[in-house]
Amino acid sequence: MRLGFGVVLRLAFAGLLGVLTEAAGIGLVGTATWMIVRAADRPPLAALAVAIASVRLFALLKGGIRYSERLAGHDVVLRVLASLRTRAFVALVDRRGVVPGDAPGDGRGIVRGDVSGDGRGVVPGDASGDGRGDVRGDVSGDGRGVVRGDVSGDGRGVVRGGASGDGRGDAFGDVRVVVRGDAPGGRRGVARGAAPGGRRGVVRGDVLGDRRGVVHGDVLSRVVSDVDAVQDLLLRAVLPAAVAALVGALTVAGFALVSTPAALLLLAGLLVAGVLLPLLARAMSSQSAELATARASVVESTVDITHGAAELLAFGAMPAALADASARGRRLARLETRAATVGGLIAAAAALVPAGSALAIALLVSGPSVPVLALIALTVGEVVVPLATASARQTEVRAAVRRVREFVDGVPEPSPSRPHPSEADVTRGDAAGGRWTRGRVDGVAESSSRPHPSDMGPVGGDAADGRRAGGFGDGVVVVESSSRRRSGDAGPVGRGVFDGRRVWPEAVSLRLEGVSARYPHGGRDVLSEVDLELPAGRRVAVVGASGSGKSTLLAVLAGGLEPTGGRVEGRPAGAEPWQVAGGVFADAHVFHATVRENLLLDRDGFTDDDLRAALGAAGLAEYGERLDELVGEDGGHLSGGQRQRLLLARALVDPPPVLLLDEPTEGLDQAAPAAVLATALRAAGERTVVVVTHRRADLAGFDEIVTVDDGRVTIVPGASGLLALT
């Protein structure tokens, strides 16, 4: 951060006015003191006339020049602040929010070791700054490591609720719950406010409201608090130091003309108060550099909680966020108390030094001018007193100025993009439910959007017959593999459907046997001894009155609610419930992000054409060319029908083997629901589909209709069930 010549010139003019102000003050004190001493001899009034006039003149000059000095000083400082804030906003718009490491300028920033710019980061241990870090078990140094169940090398693992894969589920690293409606995204959770489930989110930054860039609260702190620190640097450090140095030098020179001992005593006092004490204050307050960071941290957490409340509540992370904000506030209070204590002690010592100089001159110097010299020494000492207090804050102020400089002038180093595999690696276990393994699918045609290993599914092997399974993948094939256990023996052969991104089990049939369920702290079961068969590829409609248990049934199927009795069978061994069943739920959340980010939920390997196809299937084709448009808090920029279609499109981007849709046509125009639902069912391909609906018109074409009444289900075939309801 450099000051232009015009700014330096204005600062010099303000400094000159400050010198003249202090000179007028010294002249006022010296003349008034001489007049009082001379008046003790009772001279003629004419002998005091010049002194009387001089006192009036110096008093007027001091007030007038002080006003001009304040006006000039604040004028130049406010000009600097205006220019600095303008540059900060320009930098913010140009880079959409910069955290060191945001080389592409897309505002996604960095999360402790993020070199790809996708906000995922690595984990603590990245000393080189290349983002490699030391994930548990990382022996290659690429930051991927091997964490519980993580054979894909992305460090995420497969621990339920473990965003980082270590299974600990810490508040801001691994979230233990899944947002209903986030089934395709899985339990990736919140990394300090990560809205879509990765580390992109609310905190590490949102200034433009797009959940990217620098931390929203951190930018607020940099643009407001840290920029204000520049004012303190100029008005309370640079100008006072320059004025004190010049006034002190001139006064010592004047004292030397009258009394050398007095000049030496004054010089000693000025050196102690103006040099030694500020250095001591700076040394004692070395930890005050943490204040700027701590203050920004408090602002950051406050803004995160305020603007990201919906996301934090959705992920169940609000208690942890509040606890974190409280801890940051307590830390800031401790630092401010320490800084205030140091400042008070330094200020007290600085105030005593000028008094000591004046007393020493009065006691050690003789002559008629001693009273005048002593009071002038006291006056000059007051000029250097503020330097000690200002120095105590300099570490903090310089840290704030450095943060502003990094934000405005910093040029981040370019970072390499995330590499794609050269061949379609397939991980996460065996489709037949065997051991977790690693392999690859040969014979898969290359596409423009290669899959990332972390998003692939359970099986590896040779491509077989091409079989369309629906969804918007790059081509679907059936694959087989045999997993090899540690003992070297071949495991069971598994089959799965590879859709270009992950290998799903070829067919999933779920069965509920005597399932009862209730919500936490609920007084009674919402579902009671439910028996339900969901064969692979079956289309099932669920109807019933509000509060009868329809949404609860979907929650049990998706694994979001554990049964209190009975069991759910049919899930492949080693698979999480959300990997098998998921879709659109009544309380699904729309993030304050772009259309693209709401569809992807941090999933990789999907092209814009895939997203447009999903939007078209959901009846939202007009947003196919507006993928980077923000949708607002909880979809506030969308109508109710558009919001519902967006959630449906999210589920259709990468549908699981069992697609669950809770009121997918709610809020749509009267003519639209049938067409949208029919298109969605076609897009689901041969997957099992369970649809909860209140609309009888939606029931046509379903294989079965399940009626839920007070927690109990009645199952009838589709045609007869439709006739019974009509």
Residue 635: pLDDT above 70?
yes
3-state secondary structure of 633: helix
**Better-scored residue on pLDDT, 155 or 524:** 524
Residue 624: pLDDT above 90?
no
**Better-scored residue on pLDDT, 637 or 429:** 637
Buried b (16+ CB within 10 A) or exposed e, 194-212: bbbbbbbbbbbbbbbebbb
The pLDDT-based confidence of 262 (bands split at 50, 70, 90) is: very high
Q: Can you tell me the distance from the alpha carbon of 81 to that of 232, in angstroms, rounded to the nearest whole number? A: 11
Q: Can you tell me the distance from the alpha carbon of 399 to that of 257, in angstroms, rounded to the nearest whole number? A: 43
- List 582's β-bridge partners, or say none: 659
The pLDDT-based confidence of 163 (bands split at 50, 70, 90) is: very low
Q: Which residues contact 12 (CB under 8 A, 6 or more apart)?
A: none
Tokens of 335: 């630092």
3-state helix/strand/coil string of 78-113: HHHHHHHHHHHHHHHHHHCCCCCCCCCCCCCCCCCC
Q: What percent of the chain has pLDDT over 90?
A: 12
pLDDT of residue 721: 52
Dihedral pair phi/psi, residue 581, rounded to 5°: -135, 135
- List 495's β-bridge partners, or say none: 480
pLDDT of residue 94: 60
Residue 456: pLDDT above 70?
no
Residue 403: pLDDT above 80?
no
Domains and CATH numbers, the chain: 5-95+217-409 (1.20.1560.10), 104-200 (no CATH), 425-504 (no CATH), 510-725 (3.40.50.300)
pLDDT of residue 466: 33
Q: Residue type at 145?
A: G
pLDDT of residue 31: 92
Packing angle, helices 277-284 and 370-392, rounded to 10? 20
Q: What is the pLDDT averaged over residues 20-44?
A: 90
**Better-scored residue on pLDDT, 717 or 211:** 717
Residue 505: pLDDT above 60?
no
Element (H, E) at 671: none
pLDDT of residue 24: 93
pLDDT tens digits, 265-310: 999 999 998 888 888 877 766 666 677 678 878 888 888 888 788 7
pLDDT of residue 27: 92
pLDDT tens digits, 170-225: 333 333 333 333 333 333 333 333 333 333 333 333 333 333 334 445 555 566 66
Q: What is the pLDDT averaged over residues 564-568?
A: 85
Tokens of 276: 């030694």
pLDDT of residue 71: 93
Buried b (16+ CB within 10 A) or exposed e, 625-646: eebeebbebebeebeebbbbbb
Q: Residue type at 458?
A: P
Q: What is the pLDDT averaged over residues 86-102?
A: 56
Residue 130: pLDDT above 90?
no
C-alpha dihedral sign at 594, 596, 601, 605: negative
pLDDT of residue 56: 93
**Better-scored residue on pLDDT, 479 or 65:** 65
Tokens of 465: 């017959």
**CA–centroid distance for 28 within its chain:** 57
Question: How deeply is 486 buried, as exposed, middle or buried, from its count of CB atoms within 10 A (0-12, 13-18, 19+)?
Answer: exposed
Q: Can you tell me the distance from the alpha carbon of 357 to that of 375, in angstroms, rounded to the nearest whole number? A: 10
Tokens of 342: 């140091």
pLDDT tens digits, 351-399: 888 889 899 999 988 888 888 999 999 888 888 888 877 776 676 677 7
Give the least confident one: 415-424, 609-618, 670-679, 680-689: 415-424
